[in-house]
Amino acid sequence: MAVSITDQTVEYVAALAKLELSEAEKERTKKDLEEILGYMDTMNELDTEDVEPMSHVNPVKNVFREDVVINGPDRENILSNAPEEQDGCAVVPPTFN
């Protein structure tokens, strides 16, 4: 099943990935998606009807511990990386007006 990649598909995946693309990037993305997804379709040659999907190779399970704070207050240090900081918080533009 070859996927046909439309302009809408490109805009949709860019929106999902929170990216803004130039016209040239959109063209390139369309070509890349077609070519790379087309190649990924070779997986369809393999019958996996009765196979359980494997998201992790080692058995992983929930790990529980007591709800105790182990990383000390480090606000100043952490915020020193923020592009804009005020009163101990990272600053962003208003989301509601």
Partner 1 sequence: MTASEIISLSALELGQAIKEGRTTSPEAVDAYLEKIAAEDGRFHSYITVLADEARARAAEVQAKIEAGELTGPLAGVPVALKDNLCTKGLLTTCASKILYNFRPPYTATAVQKLLDAGAVILGKANMDEFAMGSTTETSYFGPTGNPVDPEHVPGGSSGGSAAAVGAYLAPYALGTDTGGSIRQPASYCGVVGMKPTYGAVSRYGLIAYGSSLDQIGPLAHTVSDCAAVLETIAGHDERDSTSAGDPAIDMHYTDALVRDVKGMKIGIPSSYFGEGLDHEVKEAVLAAAEVLRAEGAEIEEFDLPMVDYAIPAYYVIAMAECSSNLSRFDGVKYGYRTERFEDLQDIYKRSRSEGFGTEVKRRLMIGAFVLSSGYYDAYYNKALKVRACIKKAFDEAFAKYDVILAPAAPTTAPKKGESLSDPLKMYLSDIYTVSVNLAGLPGITVPVGQDAKGLPIGMQILGNTFCDKTIIRAAYTYEQAAKERKGGRA
Query: Pattern 40-79, binding to partner 1, x per CB under 8 A?
Result: xxxxxxx-x--xxxxxxxx-x--x-x--------x--xx-
Report the C-alpha gap between 40 and 48 in whole angstroms. Answer: 15
Binding of partner 1 by 39 (CB under 8 A): yes
Site string for partner 1, 9-38 (x = CB under 8 A): x--xxx-xxxxxx---x---x--xx-xxx-
Do 1 and 44 touch, CB atoms closer than 8 A? Answer: yes
Q: Of the candidates 45, 14, 39, 48, which has an alpha carbon nearest to the alpha carbon of residue 29?
A: 14
Q: 87: phi > 0 → left, psi -120 to 50 → alpha, else beta; which?
A: left
Which tokens hold the place of 15?
């929106």
Position among 4, 8, 80, 86 found at the interface with partner 1 (CB under 8 A):
80
List residues near partner 1 by CB under 8 A. 1, 3, 9, 12-14, 16-21, 25, 29, 32-33, 35-37, 39-46, 48, 51-58, 60, 63, 65, 74, 77-78, 80-84, 90, 92-95
